[in-house]
Chain A
Amino acid sequence: MLEAFLISSITMATPILLAALGELLVEESGVINIGIEGAMLAGAFAALAIAYFSGSTALGLGGGVAAGVAINAIFAVLVVNLAVNQVVTGTAVSILALGLTGVFYRKLFGVTGKAFMVAPIAKIPLGPLARIPLLGPVLFNHNALVYFTFILAPALWYVIAHTRYGLRLRACGERPEAADALGLGVIAIRWQALVVSGAMTGLAGAFLTLAYAGTFVENISAGRGFVALSVVIVGRWNSWGLVAASVLFGAAMALQFGLQALGTIVPYQLFLALPYALTLVVLAGFGGQAAAPSALGEPYRRD
């Protein structure tokens, strides 16, 4: 019971963490991307459609990555090159992705009503580690994407905090004019952050269809992109904080499924609302923007 709950928590946390790490990268460069939900959804759909028709999981994962990058590229043209409002663009991108995946899903699979399933990605037990009681199954018996995501978190922390590239990235998010004056190329760096983040978010979407559900349903991301946005805030723009916040929110989701099955008196909606309510409490408590990059959300125009 406890073991199943903990395994489920890690599984639920993975796509949220992967997308949140991507959002962190983008926000460090000074851009807030609300279109993350759209990129995740597009990644989820493209991954499943390609894996289903090609029969190859690897191609499916690649398709998910490509779709995430494509959605973020639309966002980047408007937000980075044309310097238009990031919030409204992000919302539009999410609506667009919801519409496109819906339309193409119905076209490809809706008419026949045929089962649209692929075999989930295989789990890889990590040798003797996987045989440790409780800890083994919970931490060391997952698919490759889970390991990848939890290794990516410290790697990204190192890049952002301790490398020259990370310093440049943060300069663009804190003082874009100064970064530009130093010849850092704000446009190029924000584009790079958005492309890498698109790949990560698309992969997070692919996780939902290829590793978790084994199928696609409309709006399968169901707000997980926005949960990733919360994770960045609750995790205080720090990779380690992001890991903690995603596992917490993953656990809330896992608990919710358990409660729904058990039919307890605690309304399961409470757990579904938890990530969002907690974000509001954290924001109200910490006083908003203290840990956020100072130029977050401001379009940068060179003039």
Chain B
Amino acid sequence: MLSSIAKPFAALALAAALISIVLAALGASPLGVFAALGEGAFGSWYACVDTVVKSTPLVFTGLAVALAFSGALWNIGADGQLTIGAIAAGAIGPHLGNFPHPIAIAGILAAGCLGGAVWGGLAGWLRARRDVNEVISTIMLNFVAVQALSWVVHGPLMEPSRAYPTSSPIARAAQLEFYFAPSRINLGMLLAVVLAAVCYLLLFRTGAGFELRAMGRNRRAATFFGVRIPALTFWVMTLSGALAGLGGAVQVSAISHRLYEKLSPGWGFEAIAVALVARLNPLGIIPAAILFGALDNGSQAMQRTQGVSPELVQVIQGLVILIILAFDTPAWSAVREQIFGATGEAAAVPPVAEMPDA
């Protein structure tokens, strides 16, 4: 238990050390940059609230990635699934004006779920029935989703004056309200936290969750124990897509209120860092998402006061993933056992990206 909590922190500390080297190469002061990041993310009530707002989509995509990765299904497509969910929400949103607020909210969120589920389910179906590696299909579906978004905001969903490449704003009734205005705190984060708990129960307290984790450890062995791999694959990818799509719908409903190109700054990819820091534990997704949301939020202040561009956050994301992967190797486990004693703890990431048998 000790090392399972210590490991992500050790990884973050090593990432911080490597980032300091990059910052030194840029001629910036590492301490100044880290202080600016913290100040920008948590320095005021407003900053804290914005950190929560920026973390919300990461909880949804983080959960999507964590569920799929737990079954050794390498869903690289949370970004596309979120985008399709957002398109569905943005398409239905302007037409919900005549419905009561709760119905309109349920409708726009359901549309997002459905959109994401179709996009994730497509990759799941291709894997289950057509033996198509989900890594490749989800990458391709990401790009198709990006182009689909670009097309709808220039074409069928373009706002009536046709001056700007955005969709019409969604109806007032379909907007998640700000409960502590002027701060942008909304019910999205609460929904995300509830879903994290549900995913935790699903993964660790149900038979299906056990089967999923068994499939993640060893697909062949799971088959022998009666796990129906194709059905499980399809449904997990569908659920994973639905979670990401819901994240897109929440973003449209609460924050953006309309569609525009490049709606997602890469939440589906950042989610991989979030899921690995959380060691694929749905409850861990919340603090991990807040950590990366804080980095995103703090990066603006960092740019203002330290002159380091916000892309530094991506350097941090990449390094954190690489370091956690390296920590999960057998070589490191041997070192760890010497320090902490044998823990019997398994690697967070299922070890082998098994391809379907030829």
C-alpha spacing A270/B155, complex, angstroms: 12
- B352:A298 contact, CB within 8 angstroms: yes
Partner of A107, one of B26, B315, B325, B349: B26
Interface residue tally of chain B, by bracket? 35 or more
- B358:A290 contact, CB within 8 angstroms: yes
- B326:A82 contact, CB within 8 angstroms: yes
A288 contact set on B, CB distance < 8 A: 126, 130-133, 356
Stretch at the interface among B54-62, B91-99, B140-148, B197-205: B140-148
Give chain B nearest CB distance to A116 CB in angstroms.
15
Partner of A298, one of B137, B276, B312, B353: B353
C-alpha spacing A287/B316, complex, angstroms: 38
- B314:A96 contact, CB within 8 angstroms: yes
For the residues of B in contact with A, the DSSP-based class is: helix
Partner of B311, one of A93, A102, A272: A102
Residue of A nearest to B149 (CB): A269
**Residue B46 lies at the interface, judged by CB distance under 8 Å to chain A:** no
A84 contact set on B, CB distance < 8 A: 325-326, 328-329, 349
**Residue A135 lies at the interface, judged by CB distance under 8 Å to chain B:** no
A290 contact set on B, CB distance < 8 A: 358
Residue of A nearest to B134 (CB): A87
- A87:B318 contact, CB within 8 angstroms: no
Known contacts A88-B272, A104-B26; A229 and B139 CB within 8 A of each other: yes
Residues 105 to 158 of chain B near chain A (Cβ within 8 Å) = 126, 130-133, 135-137, 139-141, 143-144, 147-148, 150-151, 154-155
- A283:B132 contact, CB within 8 angstroms: yes
**Residue B76 lies at the interface, judged by CB distance under 8 Å to chain A:** yes
Give the most central of B126, B307, B321, B354: most A CB within 10 Å: B321
**Residue A155 lies at the interface, judged by CB distance under 8 Å to chain B:** no
The number of residue pairs between A and B whose CB atoms lie closer than 8 Å in the complex comes to 187
C-alpha spacing A298/B74, complex, angstroms: 13
**Residue B190 lies at the interface, judged by CB distance under 8 Å to chain A:** no
C-alpha spacing A301/B148, complex, angstroms: 41
Known contacts A93-B322, A100-B22, A106-B311; A284 and B126 CB within 8 A of each other: yes
C-alpha spacing A85/B133, complex, angstroms: 14
- A273:B276 contact, CB within 8 angstroms: no
Give chain B nearest CB distance to A157 CB in angstroms.
22
Interface string of A88-120 (1 = CB under 8 A from B): 110111111111111110110011000000000
B133 contact set on A, CB distance < 8 A: 283, 288-289, 297
- A103:B349 contact, CB within 8 angstroms: no
- A273:B148 contact, CB within 8 angstroms: yes
A87 contact set on B, CB distance < 8 A: 74, 76, 135, 353
Give the most central of B266, B308, B329, B358: most A CB within 10 Å: B358
**Residue A280 lies at the interface, judged by CB distance under 8 Å to chain B:** yes
Known contacts A88-B272, A92-B325, A267-B151; A99 and B314 CB within 8 A of each other: yes
- B130:A277 contact, CB within 8 angstroms: no
- A230:B326 contact, CB within 8 angstroms: no
**Residue A55 lies at the interface, judged by CB distance under 8 Å to chain B:** no
C-alpha spacing A175/B326, complex, angstroms: 25
Residues 309 to 358 of chain B near chain A (Cβ within 8 Å) = 309, 311-319, 321-322, 325-326, 328-331, 349-356, 358
C-alpha spacing A15/B76, complex, angstroms: 24
C-alpha spacing A226/B329, complex, angstroms: 27
Residues 28 to 80 of chain A near chain B (Cβ within 8 Å) = 32, 34, 74, 78
Residue of B nearest to A265 (CB): B155
- B317:A99 contact, CB within 8 angstroms: yes
Interface string of A281-303 (1 = CB under 8 A from B): 00110011110101011110100
**Residue B234 lies at the interface, judged by CB distance under 8 Å to chain A:** no
Known contacts A88-B74, A103-B22, A107-B309; A289 and B358 CB within 8 A of each other: yes
B328 contact set on A, CB distance < 8 A: 84
Partner of B144, one of A82, A106, A277, A292: A277
C-alpha spacing A226/B26, complex, angstroms: 29
Give chain B nearest CB distance to A228 CB in angstroms.
12
**Residue A233 lies at the interface, judged by CB distance under 8 Å to chain B:** yes
Residue of B nearest to A104 (CB): B26
**Residue B260 lies at the interface, judged by CB distance under 8 Å to chain A:** no
B272 contact set on A, CB distance < 8 A: 88, 91-92
**Residue A141 lies at the interface, judged by CB distance under 8 Å to chain B:** no
C-alpha spacing A84/B269, complex, angstroms: 18
Partner of A280, one of B74, B141, B276, B349: B141
C-alpha spacing A99/B133, complex, angstroms: 27
Residue of B nearest to A218 (CB): B311
Residues of B bordering A, CB below 8 Å: 22, 26-27, 74, 76, 126, 130-133, 135-137, 139-141, 143-144, 147-148, 150-151, 154-155, 266, 269, 272-273, 276, 307-309, 311-319, 321-322, 325-326, 328-331, 349-356, 358
Please name the 6 residue pairs, one residue from A and one from B, whose CB atoms are nearest each other, closest first. Answer: A96-B318, A102-B311, A99-B314, A288-B131, A99-B315, A92-B321
Given contacts A91-B321, A276-B140, A276-B144, 17 further A-B contacts (CB under 8 A): A82-B331, A84-B329, A85-B74, A85-B350, A85-B351, A89-B325, A91-B269, A92-B273, A92-B318, A96-B315, A99-B314, A99-B315, A103-B22, A110-B309, A230-B140, A233-B136, A280-B144
- Interface pairs (17), CB distance under 8 Å: A78-B322, A82-B326, A82-B329, A85-B350, A91-B272, A92-B325, A95-B321, A96-B314, A99-B313, A100-B22, A100-B311, A101-B311, A233-B136, A267-B155, A287-B132, A289-B358, A301-B330
